[in-house]
Amino acid sequence: MSFELHALASDPSGFPDINGNYGWNSDSEEEPDDYTQAEANPDDDRDSKTAETRIEDDFQRLVTHIRSDDKGSTAFLTRDWDFNPIEEAEQLKDELRRATGVGKARASDIPLSREVKSLIGLGNQAYVDGDPAEATRIMLDIIRIEPRAAAAWVVLAQCYEDMKQRPEALKLRIMAAHLAHDAEEWDRLARQSRELGCNQQALYCWSKAARLDPANGHAQWDRASLARQLGDLKTARAALLGILKNYPQDILVLSELRGILVELDDLPTCTALYEGAFAHYLATYPTGSALDPATDREVPGGGFGFLEILVLADLYNTTGKHRHAIEVISQGVRWLQGRAAQRIWDACEDDREYDPAGFERDLEDEVAPRPGMFPLDVNARHRLAIARIKLGDVEEAKVHGSIILSEDILDYAPLFLELADTYFEEEMYAEAQPIYEVLGAEASTNNLHVLLRLAACFRMLDELPEAADMYEQVCLLEPSHREAKMQLAEIYEMLNEPRRALEVVRQVIISRDLDTFRRPGPDPGQNLISQPSAASLFIETKEPNNTTSRNRRPQISLATLKEVEAKMENKTLMDYKRVTELWPKISIAEIDASESEWLLCARRMIEGFCEAKQLFTSADYYRGMFPARKRAHSEYREADEDRMAARLELEIGCSTNDTTSTEIFRGLNFFSEWLRIFFQFSFIITKRSSEGREGKKFLPGYVSCVPSSSEPLTLPFPARAIPYRPSQWQAPIRIAIATCAVASQRFPLVVEQFRKMIMAHQFNTEPLRIFLATMAAGGSNAMRALLSVPFMKVVKRELTRSCTAVEAPGMMRYSEMSKRFTFSNSEENQRESIDDRERSRPIPEAARKSKPVLTMLYAEMCNFTKNYTSAIYYYLQAYELNPKDPLLCLSIAIASIGRAMQRNSDNRPHLIAQGMGFLAQYGQLRHEQSGDTGEVEFNFGRTFQQLGLYSHAVTHYEKVLQVAEGTSSKSMSMAPEAAYNLSLIYAMTGAIPLAKSLYRRWLSF
């Protein structure tokens, strides 16, 4: 019998695991979904089988496994045991279905044949006569004939017990327990298994006891405790949830379950449990306390005390429900203080209820409640501060934060650290920096995390020397910290110290190579499996699960990938050949069939391009679809280190970068062929959309370089692809996007693209000139986009930098991070050494020359927004640079007249005289340059009309009409505008017939 039982344990595939399930590993990811539900809610298992039926099925599988392993000396087991288990199971289900109380009733006894009953009697008599060997033989024969005879297993177990073979006896009693359906017996067997060190078997027995008697809280608790000791958190969770079903809102069980759920990252379940408990205790003990009958003492919250409120607030903050965290702290503390009826505080958006003594709050509403000044523990204030920071209510958070920071750091170091980390995560580096400095000043709270965060704060606040000092300290404390060294190298590079940066990067590369050389190989003994205990039906030490999850995608070989890529390349070349043949037909004539076919072929090409992940990685250059790969665990980090070293070597002239890139993708050049396809496709799609020909249907899911919410079409421009990231390719792509945006009347998108071009080409006015020419024909839509506040700020900043580069070039410094010239303060200039100044990048000569274009653009923006004072100021600056520009003179005249017409004008006659003077100069310059008298006369007439001098205005408008009568070209004439304005004057003065004649002559089509 001992040999047979060990044969059972040798193959766990057909044996029940600790939860009584078959055919799957309890540690695998494919755990059945109904397991947890059945364990957590055993009383609700009505869908399939009762607990007794399931246990009998477990027994059936055990015996079937014995039968399948029945070979050699144990062949007699199959002699008289040939019943159909499926038929028997169906009969049992029918009997249970006819019975009352399905799921609760115990299974009836197994009917035994007369021969089996006779053998049982003989076996019992042999045992009574003191012949255990004969009794064992008879009971084995009974089991061969009818394995469901419970008495045979019990007597056989007692025989082994008498023979001092306790492990074998325990196994047999477990087999018998499958037929007895006694929860107490399963509990007893579980405790015996645990005493013998068979922990997996003990968990299995307790799982059966839980199914039979879900109300047995002691068994469930023991099961949960053992499962947690073994690291089986899912089983522990199921056991504790089973206890909570019978003892809901038990604080002790909740506390034990909380740690398990946190380790399993099941925070929603934990939050829901604590929410329910809080609501229960809040309703049960409205006064905030209860009397303990055992000790006659007041228990705060009836057991749900201050610690539980903090736990619930932490859960809310962790799951992102920060508003709920504030509510539970406010209501919970108020409830514990016996003030649950004071619901007036719930209407306050702030935390004035717990304002500290002496704090003065600005209250706009006099009817609102005054600050309560109620006491609040510093731990609760910490939770409120975290929630307020996450919600963006920084001022309210600082009230709580100041109280926390006033405490002794040695007593509340975790609160200090979490507060600083929250500020850091919300990118509030100025608030986080002083807290990290306080933590770093104490020996007991100073650690690598604090130093790294402090260095990051210095860096984000542009305090680069201080950041370098902090990273240097980290490197001294932890020389193997490669990430800190790379950050230090980047800061050295931004400080224009490439030699020191290169030295640090080389140290990182050397350390990396040494780590690779010293990396130990796998331990040959780590995969050894412990032998099963003699008393256990289970393999107590489970084999590591090296099998691939069924949900994991199967790996495709490199050869297969290359074959697929070759097919894709052939299709791409065929499509390119076809679009090349069709393009002349589209260009010459409008042939819908050719255009549609061209679009379909181009669409396939663009989809294949956008689906190639190798083109959209963080690499600096494209190395092909199948580049030589490095070690998978550190590929990207090592690539960044190598690229930085190569860049620094290039900068200081030590060596050249030997990295190779390719300009070919699927047989086509990125720049001469692919880019042309993108441009042509986008132009045709934009044209179709503007003509109402359903152009959008050709664009499902294309990658765009701009947000889809800001444009009517999703244009497939590959601005994020690796080959097109250099600035020389970004400019044509952005101009093409702007072209499509102009055609679709999306001028905000035009402004966005040219804003990026202006930022990328500092001190270069060509992008600005192209931008102004593009926006000229946009009308009111273009004007609204041009006058957006963000773009006006960009122009103002660029104007300030341009003026500083001309007047004080020493104040400008090149930033390696932004690749632009920025301002540098005097302290940085003092710290900067002579060598650093010599190595710094000089300002280009183009930046040292004043250009009126940017100044005039900002003045025009001020003029359009009726900020005439600022407009005149910047116009006059531009006038000093280019006094012979007639447009500039006209703009100054318009701004001066506009300022004079405002009610708060302080010197109206002077402004009018100034405007008329510049207007006269405009007329003179315009006559000298072009001789266009019609435009000049119209502007004079419009000025006099605005000033109310209608007689002078009529004279100039009539001259415009006279000039138009003598010219053949009507497209460039100002006659319609002059006729319309003149008709308004006639209508205002009562000369209606003259106005009608103007309408018939000039305004009728």
Helix (H), strand (E), coil (C) string for 381-435: HHHHHHHHHHHCCHHHHHHHHHHHHCCCCCCCHHHHHHHHHHHHHCCCHHHHHHH
Of residues 308 and 301, more confidence is placed in 308
For every residue of 815-874, DSSP letters joined together read: ETTTTEEEE--HHHHHHS-HHHHHHSPPPPGGGGS--HHHHHHHHHHHHHTT-HHHHHHH
Residue 363 has a pLDDT of 65
387, 326 Cβ separation under 8 angstroms: yes
Residue 917 has a pLDDT of 92
Where in the chain are all domains bearing CATH 1.25.40.10? 112-181
- Residues 158-165: what's their mean pLDDT? 82
> At 974, is the pLDDT very low, low, confident or very high (cuts 50, 70, 90)?
confident
> At 545, is the pLDDT very low, low, confident or very high (cuts 50, 70, 90)?
very low
> At 546, is the pLDDT very low, low, confident or very high (cuts 50, 70, 90)?
very low
603, 681 Cβ separation under 8 angstroms: yes
Residue with tokens 């190579």: 513
Element spanning 73, H or E: none
Residue 651 has a pLDDT of 58
Whether pLDDT at 490 is above 80: yes
Residue 727 has a pLDDT of 61
Mean pLDDT across the chain: 73
d(CA 163, CA 165): 5
598, 582 Cβ separation under 8 angstroms: yes
| Range of weakest confidence among 197-201, 602-606, 617-621, 851-855 | 617-621
Residue 283 one-letter amino acid = A
Whether pLDDT at 786 is above 90: no
Classify the C-alpha dihedral 586-588-590-593 as positive or negative: negative
Pairing of strands 668-669, 664-665: antiparallel
Contacts of 477 (CB under 8 A, 6+ apart): 448, 451
DSSP 3-state assignment of 684?
Answer: helix
3-state helix, strand, coil in the chain (%, to 5): 65, 0, 30
493, 648 Cβ separation under 8 angstroms: yes
| Range of weakest confidence among 545-549, 790-794, 822-826, 977-981 | 545-549
Pairing of strands 289-292, 820-823: unpaired
Closest C-alpha to 206, from 194, 3, 579, 842: 194
| Range of weakest confidence among 246-250, 684-688, 828-832 | 828-832
pLDDT digit string, tens, across residues 318-375: 888 989 998 888 888 888 888 877 777 777 777 778 888 777 676 666 556 667 678 8
813, 804 Cβ separation under 8 angstroms: no
> At 695, is the pLDDT very low, low, confident or very high (cuts 50, 70, 90)?
very low
> At 713, is the pLDDT very low, low, confident or very high (cuts 50, 70, 90)?
very low
Where does residue 620 rank: exposed (0-12), middle (13-18), buried (19+ CB within 10 A)? middle
Whether pLDDT at 86 is above 80: no
Residue 625 has a pLDDT of 60
Residue 142 has a pLDDT of 80
778, 741 Cβ separation under 8 angstroms: no
- Residues 838-861: what's their mean pLDDT? 75
Percentage above 70 pLDDT, the chain: 69
| Range of weakest confidence among 354-368, 398-412, 533-547, 595-609 | 533-547
d(CA 162, CA 169): 9
| Range of weakest confidence among 64-73, 129-138, 742-751, 774-783 | 64-73
Contacts of 301 (CB under 8 A, 6+ apart): 281, 285, 288, 289, 290, 308, 309, 335, 336
Range with the largest mean pLDDT of 457-466, 590-599, 735-744 = 457-466
d(CA 527, CA 99): 51
What the block records as the tokens of 42 is 């055993």
Closest C-alpha to 821, from 837, 807, 842: 842
d(CA 638, CA 641): 5
Chain centroid, CA 165 distance in Å? 60
Q: Which one is the CATH code of 112-181: 3.40.190.10, 1.10.420.10, 3.30.470.20, 1.25.40.10? A: 1.25.40.10
Residue 679 has a pLDDT of 76
- Residues 707-715: what's their mean pLDDT? 40
Residue 682 has a pLDDT of 76
Of residues 967 and 521, more confidence is placed in 967
Q: List, in sequence order, every beta strand (DSSP E) within 163-256.
A: none
Whether pLDDT at 92 is above 90: no
Of residues 433 and 94, more confidence is placed in 433
**275-360+368-471 placed in CATH 1.25.40:** yes
107, 52 Cβ separation under 8 angstroms: yes
What the block records as the tokens of 988 is 């205002």
Residue 532 has a pLDDT of 47
